[in-house]
């Protein structure tokens, strides 16, 4: 399994955007479509989607700062920092405007980038992150993020941890996370994501997102897992009252990890929105 991890890393490349160097996984040709993962995760989790969408788009899945194989500076984990990375990457790729697909943290960052640099963005698919997320939900997220910073004896221990933490993820999604999200160290395996970066990022997620949603003018599709514990039905309803013009798709049976739990339905939602 460690060999699989190394192989996965070789399929990626690093892009220096001036302010930071980001690791990306790229395939396909056509209009630019960028993918941004959630907190503690990495670009590999989008593999089932990009494998299908790369027949129509130039798909670039990104390890965001502090995550995966991208740079991990000591500071700079606010929404504006992540959004500036997105803008810098689009300019470096010289292929915008881009369609942005973001899950959780990636959704927050994508909508923020579209609000700050609209000329670089064609549209946004924001998966399971909205304004009005309750404080107790963020408190629970902090606990889960901190719990992941540990030494694992071997890949079997990693998989057992992931299966317990992400109870609805199918086995294939667990395999992807186990193969792509950890590095070998003395005594076992540790997450690639920087613990300090994760703590700062989790704090930054609490910042008020209402002004961003008020400002954004590009088309935004909001996707929520019907069983999401991060985005409550009330948070979604308040967001729709704030921006009644933004379309919403709720995927029944999916929890917060919508694109991994229900990739086929997520794919249809993305395709229908982009085609429209």
Which tens digits make up the pLDDT trace of 31-48? Answer: 999 999 999 999 999 999
Please compute the mean of the pLDDT values over residues 159-180 and round it to a whole number. Answer: 96
Q: Is the pLDDT of residue 203 over 70?
A: yes
Which tens digits make up the pLDDT trace of 68-83? Answer: 999 999 999 999 999 9
Backbone angles phi, psi at 89, to 5 degrees: -65, -45
pLDDT band at 255 (very low <50, low <70, confident <90, very high): very high
pLDDT of residue 2: 32
Q: Using CA atoms, how far apart are residues 196 and 75, in angstroms rounded to an integer?
A: 9
pLDDT band at 207 (very low <50, low <70, confident <90, very high): very high
Q: Is the pLDDT of residue 256 over 50?
A: yes
Residues near 3 by Cβ (< 8 Å), separated by ≥ 6?
Answer: none
pLDDT of residue 1: 29
* Burial class of residue 150 in the structure, from the number of CB atoms within 10 Å of its CB (0-12 exposed, 13-18 middle, 19+ buried): middle
pLDDT of residue 260: 97
Domain total of the chain: 1
pLDDT of residue 96: 81
Residue-range definition of the domain harbouring residue 113 = 2-275
Q: Is the pLDDT of residue 54 over 90?
A: yes
Own/partner contacts of 48-53, CB < 8 Å, gap of 24 or more, are 48/172, 48/259, 48/260, 48/263, 49/101, 49/259, 49/263, 49/266, 49/267, 49/270, 50/25, 51/27, 52/267, 53/28, 53/267, 53/270, 53/271
Q: Is the pLDDT of residue 10 over 70?
A: no
pLDDT band at 9 (very low <50, low <70, confident <90, very high): very low
pLDDT band at 233 (very low <50, low <70, confident <90, very high): very high
For residue 129, the 8-state DSSP code is -
Read off the CATH number of the domain in which 92 is found: 3.40.50.1820
pLDDT band at 11 (very low <50, low <70, confident <90, very high): low
pLDDT band at 8 (very low <50, low <70, confident <90, very high): very low
Residue with tokens 């609490």: 206
Name the residues annotated as catalytic: 104, 128, 256
Residue 37: name the closest of 20, 16, 5, 60 by CA.
Answer: 60
Q: Is the pLDDT of residue 108 over 60?
A: yes
Which tens digits make up the pLDDT trace of 79-99? Answer: 999 999 999 999 999 998 999
For residue 91, the 8-state DSSP code is H
pLDDT of residue 123: 98
Q: Is the pLDDT of residue 164 over 50?
A: yes
């Amino acid at each position: 399994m460690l060999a699989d991890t190394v192989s996965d890393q070789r399929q990626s490349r690093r892009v220096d955007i001036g302010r930071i160097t980001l690791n990306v996984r790229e395939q396909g040709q056509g209009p630019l479509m960028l993918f941004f993962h959630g907190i503690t995760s990495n670009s590999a989790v989008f593999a089932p989607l990009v494998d299908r969408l790369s027949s129509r788009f130039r798909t670039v899945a990104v390890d965001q700062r502090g995550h995966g194989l991208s740079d991990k500076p000591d500071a700079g984990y606010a929404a504006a920092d992540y959004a500036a990375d997105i803008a810098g990457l689009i300019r470096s790729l010289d292929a915008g405007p881009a369609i942005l697909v973001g899950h959780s943290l990636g959704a927050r960052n994508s909508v923020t980038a579209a609000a700050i640099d609209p000329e670089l963005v064609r549209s946004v698919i924001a998966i399971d992150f909205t304004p009005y997320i309750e404080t107790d939900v963020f408190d629970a997220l902090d606990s889960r993020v901190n719990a992941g910073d540990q030494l694992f004896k071997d890949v079997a221990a990693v998989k057992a941890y992931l299966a317990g933490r992400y109870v609805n993820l199918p086995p294939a999604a667990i395999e992807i996370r186990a193969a792509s999200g950890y590095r070998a160290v003395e005594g076992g395996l540790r997450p690639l994501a920087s613990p300090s970066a994760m703590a700062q990022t989790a704090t930054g997620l609490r910042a008020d997102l209402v002004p961003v949603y008020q400002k954004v003018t590009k088309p935004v599709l909001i996707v929520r897992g019907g069983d999401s514990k991060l985005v409550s039905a009330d948070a979604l309803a308040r967001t729709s009252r704030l921006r009644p013009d933004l379309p919403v798709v709720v995927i029944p049976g999916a929890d917060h990890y919508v694109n991994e739990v229900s990739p086929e339905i997520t794919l249809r939602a993305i395709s229908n929105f982009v085609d429209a």
